[in-house]
């Protein structure tokens, strides 16, 4: 009984505090249904080059080169698991077109890529922040030692270059006293940057308009994992 009362108290406090996630925004083009997208190619994500302040150590370090590949792979795995949607992995994109610019704006290039991979759209992205946790699962010396992730993803039609969806996210994980709801959802622990990135992609894809999330389908059919 005492445990149940404590749990209810935590839930009530979480509702009062609200959801203190990082900045997460998604925008969907109103005409997206006209494109009937069922196959998406996930392009390798670009990593922003270090600024002068980052090079001199005055600000958060620039993302490591492998951060782009990690986030692109996360998007591919989660999109490909959606009902009614198929995704082409970044490795297949590289094989079809080894030289790909950070932002695919050329319509001829988009059409060429779409024809080679038989897709209606590409998902491209940029990683701005990918900072590893400095500390342990259960404690940090300073709040700024927590993992941080920031990225932008865009769904682009290969037919005409129209941007059909944009998803942006930034978060530095906050301690329990500042983000109770986050700790309740993720567990009372400080995440590594890879774990935080996985959670971040999940949150951004809640606003993705194509396909059905697996957990939604399970809830409708009553099946269990």
- 170-182 per-position pLDDT tens digit: 998 887 677 777 7
Name the burial class of residue 194, with classes exposed (0-12), middle (13-18) and buried (19+) by CB atoms within 10 angstroms of its CB.
middle
Cβ contacts of 160 within 8 Å, gap of 6 or more: 107
pLDDT of res. 188: 74
The pTM of this model reads 0.80
Q: State how far the Cα of 87 lies from the Cα of 59, in Å rounded to an integer.
A: 36
Q: Which two tokens stand for residue 137?
A: 């699962």
Q: Which two tokens stand for residue 106?
A: 């050329």
Please write the tens of the pLDDT for every residue from 138-171: 888 887 888 999 999 999 999 999 999 999 999 9
Cβ contacts of 139 within 8 Å, gap of 6 or more: 190
Structural fold of domain 27-208: Rossmann fold (3.40.50)
Task: Give the model's confidence band at 8: pLDDT under 50 very low, under 70 low, under 90 confident, else very high.
Answer: very low
**At residue 199, what are phi and psi to the nearest 5 degrees?**
-65, -40
The residue with tokens 């697996």 is: 214
Task: Give the model's confidence band at 11: pLDDT under 50 very low, under 70 low, under 90 confident, else very high.
Answer: very low
């Amino acid at each position: 009984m005492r445990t149940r009362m404590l749990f209810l108290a935590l839930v009530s406090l979480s509702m009062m505090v609200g959801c203190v996630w990082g900045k997460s925004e998604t925008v969907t083009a109103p005409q997206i249904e006209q494109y009937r997208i069922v196959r998406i190619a996930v392009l390798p994500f670009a990593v922003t080059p270090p600024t002068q302040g980052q090079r001199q150590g005055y600000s958060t370090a620039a993302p490591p080169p492998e951060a782009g590949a990690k986030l692109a792979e996360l998007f591919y795995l989660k999109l490909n698991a959606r009902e009614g949607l198929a995704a082409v992995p970044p490795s297949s994109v590289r094989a079809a077109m080894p030289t790909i610019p950070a932002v695919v704006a050329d319509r001829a290039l988009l059409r060429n890529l779409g024809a080679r991979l038989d897709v209606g759209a590409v998902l491209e992205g940029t990683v701005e922040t990918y900072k590893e946790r400095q500390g342990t699962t259960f404690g940090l010396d300073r709040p700024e030692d927590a993992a941080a992730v920031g990225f932008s993803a865009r769904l682009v039609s290969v037919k005409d270059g129209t941007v059909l969806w944009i998803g942006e996210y930034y978060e530095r994980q906050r301690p329990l006293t500042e983000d109770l709801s986050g700790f309740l959802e993720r567990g009372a622990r400080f995440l590594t940057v890879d774990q935080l990135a996985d959670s971040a992609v999940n949150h951004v894809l809640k606003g993705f308009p194509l396909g059905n999330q697996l957990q939604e389908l399970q809830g409708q059919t009553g099946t269990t994992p």
